[in-house]
Amino acid sequence: MKTTLYKNTIETPINAIKNLGDYLPNISLPSNNIKIAITGLSRAGKTVFITSLVDQLLYQSKLASITNKKLFKVTIKSPNLMTKRFDYYTYIDMLKKDNVWPKGTDEITNIVLEFESEKRFPWIVENKFCIELIDYPGEWLLDLSLLDMSFEEWSEKTLTWLTQIDDPLVHHYLQTINDVKTIEDKELWIKVHEEYKALLYHLKKNHYSQLTPGRFIMPSDLASDPILHFAPIKENNEKLHKFFKSNYTNYVKKVVKEIHLEYFKGFDRQVVLVDVVEALQNGYACYKDMKLGLQSMFYLYDHKNKNPISQWFSPSIKKVLFIATKADEVSSSQHANFSLLLDDMIEGLKKDMDIKHIKTDTQLVAALKTTKTIKKEHGGQMLSFIEGILEKDGKLHHVYPGEIPSQFPSKDTWENQEESFKFLPPKKSYRDNEPLEHINMDKAIHKLIGDLL
Protein backbone atom coordinates (compact mmCIF):
# COMPACT_ATOMS: atom_id res chain seq x y z
CA MET A 1 0.00 0.00 0.00
CA LYS A 2 1.25 3.46 -0.91
CA THR A 3 0.32 6.73 0.73
CA THR A 4 -0.01 10.11 -1.00
CA LEU A 5 1.17 13.02 1.14
CA TYR A 6 1.09 15.74 -1.48
CA LYS A 7 -0.22 16.08 -5.00
CA ASN A 8 1.86 14.11 -7.52
CA THR A 9 4.07 12.73 -4.69
CA ILE A 10 3.84 9.02 -3.90
CA GLU A 11 5.72 7.72 -0.84
CA THR A 12 5.89 4.51 1.13
CA PRO A 13 4.80 4.87 4.79
CA ILE A 14 8.42 4.92 6.03
CA ASN A 15 9.45 7.55 3.50
CA ALA A 16 6.36 9.55 4.36
CA ILE A 17 7.44 9.57 7.99
CA LYS A 18 10.92 10.69 7.01
CA ASN A 19 9.51 13.54 4.94
CA LEU A 20 7.27 14.52 7.82
CA GLY A 21 10.38 14.71 9.97
CA ASP A 22 11.60 17.57 7.79
CA TYR A 23 8.76 19.72 9.10
CA LEU A 24 8.99 18.83 12.80
CA PRO A 25 11.39 20.67 15.12
CA ASN A 26 14.53 18.97 16.45
CA ILE A 27 13.88 15.68 14.72
CA SER A 28 16.78 13.90 13.09
CA LEU A 29 16.27 10.75 11.09
CA PRO A 30 19.70 9.64 9.92
CA SER A 31 20.20 7.31 7.02
CA ASN A 32 21.66 3.91 7.73
CA ASN A 33 25.23 4.97 6.99
CA ILE A 34 26.71 8.45 7.41
CA LYS A 35 30.17 8.92 5.90
CA ILE A 36 32.44 11.52 7.51
CA ALA A 37 35.80 12.45 6.00
CA ILE A 38 38.47 13.51 8.48
CA THR A 39 40.99 15.60 6.55
CA GLY A 40 43.84 17.98 7.24
CA LEU A 41 47.36 18.72 6.12
CA SER A 42 50.40 16.91 7.55
CA ARG A 43 50.92 17.16 11.30
CA ALA A 44 47.41 18.51 11.89
CA GLY A 45 46.69 15.48 14.10
CA LYS A 46 44.20 13.32 12.15
CA THR A 47 45.27 10.00 13.69
CA VAL A 48 45.03 11.20 17.29
CA PHE A 49 41.79 13.07 16.58
CA ILE A 50 40.04 10.01 15.13
CA THR A 51 41.37 7.80 17.94
CA SER A 52 40.04 10.22 20.56
CA LEU A 53 36.74 10.66 18.72
CA VAL A 54 36.15 6.91 18.75
CA ASP A 55 37.27 6.67 22.38
CA GLN A 56 34.89 9.41 23.54
CA LEU A 57 31.95 7.80 21.73
CA LEU A 58 32.69 4.34 23.12
CA TYR A 59 32.85 5.43 26.76
CA GLN A 60 30.84 8.70 26.80
CA SER A 61 31.77 9.77 30.32
CA LYS A 62 31.28 13.46 29.54
CA LEU A 63 28.87 13.40 26.61
CA ALA A 64 25.52 13.38 28.42
CA SER A 65 25.32 17.18 28.55
CA ILE A 66 25.51 17.52 24.78
CA THR A 67 23.05 14.77 23.88
CA ASN A 68 20.18 15.90 26.10
CA LYS A 69 21.12 13.03 28.44
CA LYS A 70 19.70 10.61 25.90
CA LEU A 71 21.18 7.14 26.10
CA PHE A 72 23.01 5.59 23.16
CA LYS A 73 25.43 2.74 22.67
CA VAL A 74 28.34 2.67 20.23
CA THR A 75 30.17 -0.41 19.01
CA ILE A 76 32.96 -0.83 16.48
CA LYS A 77 31.80 -2.96 13.59
CA SER A 78 33.88 -5.80 12.19
CA PRO A 79 36.42 -4.70 9.58
CA ASN A 80 35.65 -4.73 5.88
CA LEU A 81 38.41 -6.73 4.24
CA MET A 82 38.08 -4.65 1.07
CA THR A 83 39.38 -1.48 2.75
CA LYS A 84 42.17 -0.80 5.23
CA ARG A 85 40.81 -0.33 8.72
CA PHE A 86 41.81 2.56 10.96
CA ASP A 87 43.80 0.82 13.70
CA TYR A 88 42.05 2.28 16.75
CA TYR A 89 43.09 -0.50 19.12
CA THR A 90 46.81 -0.10 18.45
CA TYR A 91 46.66 3.70 18.56
CA ILE A 92 44.73 3.86 21.83
CA ASP A 93 47.26 1.54 23.50
CA MET A 94 50.11 3.75 22.27
CA LEU A 95 48.46 6.83 23.78
CA LYS A 96 47.17 5.34 27.04
CA LYS A 97 49.78 2.71 27.88
CA ASP A 98 52.97 3.50 25.97
CA ASN A 99 52.71 7.32 26.15
CA VAL A 100 53.94 7.76 22.58
CA TRP A 101 52.42 9.33 19.49
CA PRO A 102 51.24 7.02 16.72
CA LYS A 103 52.72 7.53 13.29
CA GLY A 104 50.48 9.47 10.93
CA THR A 105 48.78 7.50 8.18
CA ASP A 106 49.69 8.03 4.53
CA GLU A 107 46.72 6.33 2.95
CA ILE A 108 42.95 6.11 3.23
CA THR A 109 41.69 4.14 6.24
CA ASN A 110 38.25 3.84 7.79
CA ILE A 111 36.41 2.66 10.87
CA VAL A 112 32.67 2.04 11.14
CA LEU A 113 30.76 2.74 14.36
CA GLU A 114 27.26 1.38 14.93
CA PHE A 115 24.96 3.58 17.02
CA GLU A 116 21.90 2.36 18.87
CA SER A 117 19.91 5.03 20.65
CA GLU A 118 16.66 5.57 22.47
CA LYS A 119 13.67 6.06 20.22
CA ARG A 120 12.76 9.71 20.35
CA PHE A 121 9.28 9.01 19.00
CA PRO A 122 7.36 5.72 19.18
CA TRP A 123 6.60 5.73 15.45
CA ILE A 124 10.30 5.67 14.49
CA VAL A 125 10.93 2.14 13.30
CA GLU A 126 14.74 2.06 13.25
CA ASN A 127 16.95 3.34 16.04
CA LYS A 128 20.24 2.00 14.66
CA PHE A 129 22.57 3.64 12.21
CA CYS A 130 26.26 3.60 11.31
CA ILE A 131 28.84 6.34 11.05
CA GLU A 132 31.89 5.64 8.92
CA LEU A 133 34.93 7.73 9.76
CA ILE A 134 37.43 7.99 6.92
CA ASP A 135 40.99 9.16 7.49
CA TYR A 136 41.67 10.95 4.22
CA PRO A 137 45.13 12.53 3.65
CA GLY A 138 44.82 16.24 3.04
CA GLU A 139 47.79 16.04 0.68
CA TRP A 140 45.71 13.87 -1.63
CA LEU A 141 42.90 16.42 -1.58
CA LEU A 142 45.37 19.05 -2.80
CA ASP A 143 45.59 17.06 -6.03
CA LEU A 144 41.93 17.72 -6.82
CA SER A 145 43.02 21.17 -8.00
CA LEU A 146 44.94 19.41 -10.81
CA LEU A 147 41.70 18.26 -12.44
CA ASP A 148 41.35 21.49 -14.42
CA MET A 149 45.07 22.12 -14.99
CA SER A 150 47.07 20.98 -17.96
CA PHE A 151 50.65 19.89 -17.42
CA GLU A 152 51.83 23.24 -18.76
CA GLU A 153 49.54 25.18 -16.40
CA TRP A 154 50.58 23.12 -13.38
CA SER A 155 54.27 23.51 -14.22
CA GLU A 156 53.98 27.26 -14.63
CA LYS A 157 52.04 27.65 -11.37
CA THR A 158 54.45 25.46 -9.40
CA LEU A 159 57.59 27.05 -10.79
CA THR A 160 56.23 30.54 -10.12
CA TRP A 161 55.59 29.50 -6.51
CA LEU A 162 59.08 28.02 -6.16
CA THR A 163 60.75 31.21 -7.39
CA GLN A 164 59.25 32.97 -4.35
CA ILE A 165 61.02 30.64 -1.90
CA ASP A 166 64.56 31.53 -0.86
CA ASP A 167 66.02 28.10 -0.22
CA PRO A 168 69.22 26.42 -1.54
CA LEU A 169 67.43 23.23 -2.62
CA VAL A 170 64.82 25.25 -4.47
CA HIS A 171 67.54 27.22 -6.23
CA HIS A 172 69.28 23.96 -7.18
CA TYR A 173 66.12 22.46 -8.66
CA LEU A 174 65.37 25.59 -10.70
CA GLN A 175 68.92 25.45 -12.05
CA THR A 176 68.54 21.75 -12.85
CA ILE A 177 65.51 22.26 -15.07
CA ASN A 178 67.33 25.07 -16.85
CA ASP A 179 70.13 22.64 -17.73
CA VAL A 180 68.00 19.80 -19.18
CA LYS A 181 67.42 21.38 -22.58
CA THR A 182 69.91 19.08 -24.34
CA ILE A 183 69.55 15.93 -22.18
CA GLU A 184 67.86 12.95 -23.86
CA ASP A 185 68.77 10.20 -21.38
CA LYS A 186 65.57 8.84 -19.77
CA GLU A 187 67.43 7.86 -16.59
CA LEU A 188 68.52 11.48 -16.15
CA TRP A 189 64.93 12.59 -16.72
CA ILE A 190 63.83 10.35 -13.85
CA LYS A 191 66.54 11.95 -11.69
CA VAL A 192 64.82 15.29 -12.32
CA HIS A 193 61.65 13.74 -10.92
CA GLU A 194 63.56 12.37 -7.92
CA GLU A 195 65.08 15.77 -7.21
CA TYR A 196 61.67 17.41 -7.29
CA LYS A 197 60.23 14.72 -5.01
CA ALA A 198 63.11 15.22 -2.54
CA LEU A 199 62.45 18.95 -2.70
CA LEU A 200 58.80 18.40 -1.69
CA TYR A 201 59.91 16.34 1.32
CA HIS A 202 62.32 19.13 2.27
CA LEU A 203 59.63 21.81 1.97
CA LYS A 204 57.23 19.70 4.00
CA LYS A 205 59.78 19.51 6.83
CA ASN A 206 60.06 23.28 6.63
CA HIS A 207 56.32 23.69 7.20
CA TYR A 208 55.16 24.34 3.63
CA SER A 209 51.75 22.90 2.79
CA GLN A 210 50.99 23.59 -0.86
CA LEU A 211 52.80 20.51 -2.19
CA THR A 212 51.58 18.76 -5.33
CA PRO A 213 51.29 16.04 -6.38
CA GLY A 214 50.34 14.72 -2.94
CA ARG A 215 51.31 11.19 -3.88
CA PHE A 216 54.94 12.28 -4.19
CA ILE A 217 55.16 12.67 -0.42
CA MET A 218 52.40 10.18 0.51
CA PRO A 219 52.67 7.57 -2.25
CA SER A 220 51.07 4.61 -0.43
CA ASP A 221 50.68 1.80 -3.00
CA LEU A 222 52.17 3.93 -5.80
CA ALA A 223 55.64 4.26 -4.25
CA SER A 224 57.42 2.57 -7.19
CA ASP A 225 54.88 3.22 -9.91
CA PRO A 226 56.26 4.88 -13.10
CA ILE A 227 53.06 6.95 -13.30
CA LEU A 228 54.71 9.28 -10.77
CA HIS A 229 57.68 10.00 -13.05
CA PHE A 230 57.09 13.66 -13.80
CA ALA A 231 57.98 17.07 -12.37
CA PRO A 232 57.30 20.74 -13.18
CA ILE A 233 59.62 21.90 -15.97
CA LYS A 234 59.99 24.55 -18.61
CA GLU A 235 59.29 23.76 -22.27
CA ASN A 236 62.99 23.73 -23.17
CA ASN A 237 63.32 20.01 -23.90
CA GLU A 238 60.66 18.68 -26.25
CA LYS A 239 61.17 14.96 -25.55
CA LEU A 240 61.35 15.39 -21.77
CA HIS A 241 58.30 17.64 -21.85
CA LYS A 242 56.35 15.00 -23.79
CA PHE A 243 57.44 12.24 -21.36
CA PHE A 244 56.49 14.19 -18.23
CA LYS A 245 53.24 15.45 -19.76
CA SER A 246 52.12 11.92 -20.59
CA ASN A 247 52.71 10.71 -17.02
CA TYR A 248 51.07 13.78 -15.52
CA THR A 249 47.98 13.32 -17.72
CA ASN A 250 47.70 9.65 -16.73
CA TYR A 251 48.17 10.54 -13.06
CA VAL A 252 45.34 13.06 -13.13
CA LYS A 253 43.04 10.67 -14.98
CA LYS A 254 43.85 7.36 -13.26
CA VAL A 255 44.72 8.49 -9.73
CA VAL A 256 43.18 11.89 -9.02
CA LYS A 257 39.93 11.48 -10.94
CA GLU A 258 39.26 7.74 -10.78
CA ILE A 259 40.55 7.06 -7.25
CA HIS A 260 40.58 10.25 -5.17
CA LEU A 261 37.52 11.92 -6.64
CA GLU A 262 35.50 8.71 -6.83
CA TYR A 263 36.22 7.93 -3.17
CA PHE A 264 35.61 11.41 -1.85
CA LYS A 265 32.35 12.18 -3.63
CA GLY A 266 30.24 9.94 -1.35
CA PHE A 267 30.98 11.76 1.93
CA ASP A 268 28.12 13.37 3.85
CA ARG A 269 30.18 15.49 6.26
CA GLN A 270 33.73 16.67 6.56
CA VAL A 271 36.07 17.58 9.40
CA VAL A 272 39.02 19.78 8.48
CA LEU A 273 41.83 19.89 11.04
CA VAL A 274 43.94 23.06 11.02
CA ASP A 275 47.27 23.35 12.87
CA VAL A 276 46.96 27.00 13.86
CA VAL A 277 49.94 26.71 16.22
CA GLU A 278 52.23 25.63 13.37
CA ALA A 279 51.13 28.53 11.21
CA LEU A 280 51.71 31.04 14.00
CA GLN A 281 55.10 29.65 15.03
CA ASN A 282 56.70 29.41 11.61
CA GLY A 283 56.19 32.81 10.09
CA TYR A 284 54.25 34.60 7.41
CA ALA A 285 55.35 32.33 4.56
CA CYS A 286 54.11 29.23 6.40
CA TYR A 287 50.82 30.92 7.29
CA LYS A 288 50.23 32.12 3.73
CA ASP A 289 51.13 28.76 2.26
CA MET A 290 48.83 26.92 4.69
CA LYS A 291 45.94 29.18 3.69
CA LEU A 292 46.57 28.44 0.02
CA GLY A 293 46.83 24.74 0.82
CA LEU A 294 43.45 24.80 2.55
CA GLN A 295 41.96 26.59 -0.45
CA SER A 296 43.34 23.90 -2.75
CA MET A 297 41.80 21.19 -0.54
CA PHE A 298 38.41 22.81 -1.13
CA TYR A 299 38.84 23.28 -4.85
CA LEU A 300 35.67 21.39 -5.75
CA TYR A 301 33.54 23.49 -3.41
CA ASP A 302 34.26 26.61 -5.44
CA HIS A 303 30.94 27.24 -7.13
CA LYS A 304 32.28 30.20 -9.08
CA ASN A 305 33.90 27.66 -11.38
CA LYS A 306 30.83 26.13 -12.99
CA ASN A 307 32.53 23.19 -14.64
CA PRO A 308 30.62 19.89 -14.84
CA ILE A 309 32.83 18.20 -12.25
CA SER A 310 32.08 20.87 -9.62
CA GLN A 311 28.35 20.77 -10.33
CA TRP A 312 28.30 16.98 -10.03
CA PHE A 313 30.44 16.74 -6.91
CA SER A 314 29.57 19.69 -4.71
CA PRO A 315 26.14 18.69 -3.35
CA SER A 316 27.52 15.58 -1.62
CA ILE A 317 28.77 17.12 1.65
CA LYS A 318 26.21 18.94 3.76
CA LYS A 319 28.29 19.92 6.80
CA VAL A 320 31.91 21.03 7.27
CA LEU A 321 33.48 21.42 10.71
CA PHE A 322 36.78 23.31 10.90
CA ILE A 323 38.81 22.34 13.96
CA ALA A 324 41.87 24.07 15.39
CA THR A 325 43.89 21.27 16.93
CA LYS A 326 46.50 21.19 19.73
CA ALA A 327 44.72 23.66 22.00
CA ASP A 328 46.78 22.23 24.86
CA GLU A 329 49.93 23.85 23.41
CA VAL A 330 48.70 27.24 24.61
CA SER A 331 47.45 28.23 28.06
CA SER A 332 43.72 28.06 28.73
CA SER A 333 43.61 31.85 29.11
CA GLN A 334 44.53 32.12 25.43
CA HIS A 335 41.80 29.85 24.04
CA ALA A 336 39.51 32.71 23.05
CA ASN A 337 42.19 34.26 20.85
CA PHE A 338 43.14 30.79 19.60
CA SER A 339 39.58 30.40 18.27
CA LEU A 340 39.77 33.82 16.64
CA LEU A 341 42.94 32.77 14.81
CA LEU A 342 41.06 29.83 13.29
CA ASP A 343 38.32 32.21 12.18
CA ASP A 344 40.97 34.48 10.69
CA MET A 345 42.59 31.55 8.86
CA ILE A 346 39.41 30.35 7.16
CA GLU A 347 37.37 33.54 6.80
CA GLY A 348 38.31 34.15 3.18
CA LEU A 349 38.13 30.44 2.41
CA LYS A 350 34.53 30.19 3.55
CA LYS A 351 33.57 33.14 1.38
CA ASP A 352 35.47 31.85 -1.64
CA MET A 353 33.82 28.44 -1.37
CA ASP A 354 30.38 30.04 -1.64
CA ILE A 355 28.82 27.15 0.26
CA LYS A 356 25.69 28.77 1.63
CA HIS A 357 23.86 25.49 1.26
CA ILE A 358 26.53 23.69 3.36
CA LYS A 359 26.52 24.22 7.12
CA THR A 360 29.92 25.22 8.51
CA ASP A 361 31.13 25.52 12.07
CA THR A 362 34.38 25.87 14.02
CA GLN A 363 35.82 24.46 17.22
CA LEU A 364 39.16 24.37 19.02
CA VAL A 365 40.19 21.06 20.57
CA ALA A 366 42.98 19.01 22.00
CA ALA A 367 42.13 15.42 21.08
CA LEU A 368 44.50 14.36 23.86
CA LYS A 369 45.27 16.90 26.57
CA THR A 370 49.04 16.73 27.17
CA THR A 371 49.45 19.80 29.40
CA LYS A 372 47.79 21.75 32.17
CA THR A 373 47.82 25.49 32.74
CA ILE A 374 49.56 26.75 35.87
CA LYS A 375 50.25 30.21 37.25
CA LYS A 376 53.88 31.06 37.81
CA GLU A 377 55.81 34.20 38.68
CA HIS A 378 58.10 35.40 35.94
CA GLY A 379 59.81 38.79 35.66
CA GLY A 380 57.89 40.15 38.60
CA GLN A 381 54.43 39.19 37.33
CA MET A 382 52.16 36.15 37.44
CA LEU A 383 51.90 34.50 34.02
CA SER A 384 50.11 31.46 32.60
CA PHE A 385 52.54 28.61 31.93
CA ILE A 386 51.78 25.14 30.61
CA GLU A 387 53.15 22.03 32.32
CA GLY A 388 53.86 18.88 30.35
CA ILE A 389 56.41 16.26 29.31
CA LEU A 390 58.56 17.51 26.45
CA GLU A 391 59.47 15.21 23.58
CA LYS A 392 63.08 16.40 23.50
CA ASP A 393 64.06 14.82 26.84
CA GLY A 394 60.98 13.05 28.23
CA LYS A 395 60.98 15.25 31.34
CA LEU A 396 58.34 17.44 32.94
CA HIS A 397 58.77 21.14 32.10
CA HIS A 398 57.04 24.43 32.70
CA VAL A 399 56.84 26.32 29.42
CA TYR A 400 55.68 29.87 28.81
CA PRO A 401 53.87 29.73 25.45
CA GLY A 402 53.46 33.49 25.17
CA GLU A 403 50.42 35.56 24.34
CA ILE A 404 48.25 34.54 21.40
CA PRO A 405 47.10 37.40 19.13
CA SER A 406 43.46 37.66 18.07
CA GLN A 407 44.50 37.74 14.41
CA PHE A 408 47.54 36.77 12.41
CA PRO A 409 50.18 39.53 12.17
CA SER A 410 51.03 41.33 8.96
CA LYS A 411 54.08 40.22 7.01
CA ASP A 412 56.20 43.11 8.30
CA THR A 413 55.31 42.64 11.97
CA TRP A 414 55.53 38.84 12.15
CA GLU A 415 57.98 37.46 14.71
CA ASN A 416 58.98 33.82 14.30
CA GLN A 417 59.15 31.74 17.44
CA GLU A 418 62.72 30.52 17.89
CA GLU A 419 61.73 27.20 19.45
CA SER A 420 58.57 25.14 19.26
CA PHE A 421 57.61 22.88 22.13
CA LYS A 422 56.25 19.41 21.44
CA PHE A 423 54.78 17.39 24.27
CA LEU A 424 54.38 13.65 24.83
CA PRO A 425 51.14 11.95 25.90
CA PRO A 426 50.87 12.27 29.69
CA LYS A 427 51.78 9.38 31.97
CA LYS A 428 48.34 8.69 33.34
CA SER A 429 46.84 5.53 34.74
CA TYR A 430 43.50 5.15 32.96
CA ARG A 431 40.64 3.30 34.61
CA ASP A 432 38.66 0.73 32.64
CA ASN A 433 36.33 2.43 30.17
CA GLU A 434 37.88 5.85 30.83
CA PRO A 435 38.28 7.88 27.62
CA LEU A 436 41.27 10.03 26.75
CA GLU A 437 41.51 13.32 28.59
CA HIS A 438 40.81 16.11 26.11
CA ILE A 439 39.79 19.69 25.51
CA ASN A 440 36.42 20.27 23.83
CA MET A 441 36.09 16.93 22.04
CA ASP A 442 32.55 16.74 23.44
CA LYS A 443 31.72 20.08 21.80
CA ALA A 444 33.24 18.90 18.51
CA ILE A 445 31.14 15.72 18.64
CA HIS A 446 28.02 17.76 19.32
CA LYS A 447 28.66 20.03 16.34
CA LEU A 448 29.54 17.13 14.07
CA ILE A 449 26.87 14.52 14.84
CA GLY A 450 24.75 15.96 17.66
CA ASP A 451 21.74 16.13 15.34
CA LEU A 452 21.95 12.35 14.82
CA LEU A 453 22.06 11.34 18.49
Going by pLDDT thresholds of 50, 70 and 90, the confidence category of residue 16 is: very low
Q: Residue 376: beta bridge partners?
A: 383
User: Amino acid identity of 12?
Assistant: T
61-101 per-position pLDDT tens digit? 656 555 555 677 899 998 877 778 999 999 999 999 999 99
Domains of the chain: 3-141+265-369+432-452 (3.40.50.300), 143-260 (no CATH)
Average pLDDT, the chain: 82
Contact of 207 with 286, CB cutoff 8 Å: yes
pLDDT of residue 87: 94
- For 296-317, b/e burial (b = at least 16 CB within 10 A) is bbbbbbbeeeeeebbeebbebb
Question: Which of the residue ranges 47-51, 105-109, 315-319 has the most confident prediction, judged by mean pLDDT?
Answer: 47-51
pLDDT at position 24 over 50: no
When pLDDT is cut at 50, 70 and 90, the band that residue 13 belongs to is very low
Task: Give the model's pLDDT for residue 28.
Answer: 40
The residue-averaged pLDDT of 263-278 equals 86
What's the average model confidence in pLDDT over 362-383? 91
Our separate counts of H helices and E strands in the chain read 14, 12
Task: Name the pairing type of β-strands 3-6 and 9-11.
Answer: antiparallel
Whole-angstrom CA distances from 26 to 35, 82, 120, 358, 453 are 21, 37, 10, 18, 11
pLDDT score, position 15: 40
Tell me how far apart the terminal alpha carbons of the chain are, to the nearest angstrom: 31
Q: What is the pLDDT of residues 163-186, one digit of tens each?
A: 999 999 999 999 999 888 877 888
| Range in 160-174, 197-211, 345-359 the model is least confident about | 345-359
Does pLDDT of 300 surpass 90? no
- Residue 23 CB contacts under 8 Å (≥ 6 apart), including other chains: none
Residue 338's SS3 state is: helix
Pairing type for strands 269-274 and 33-40 reads: parallel
Q: Is the pLDDT of residue 366 over 70?
A: yes
pLDDT at 318: 79
Residue 395 reports pLDDT greater than 90? yes
What confidence score (pLDDT) does residue 356 get? 52
- How much of the chain exceeds pLDDT 70, in percent? 82
* Nearest-10 crossing angle of helices 186-205, 238-251: 60
Q: What is the rounded distance in angstroms from the CA atom of residue 303 to the CA atom of residue 195?
A: 36
Q: What is the pLDDT of residues 30-62, one digit of tens each?
A: 457 899 999 988 788 999 999 999 999 998 865
Cβ atoms of residues 48 and 73 within 8 Å: no
> 71-75, 118-122, 444-448: which range is least confident on average?
118-122
- Detail the DSSP E strand segments found in 136-280: 269-274
Cβ(262)–Cβ(312) below 8 Å: no
Per-residue pLDDT tens over the stretch 337-348:
999 999 998 887
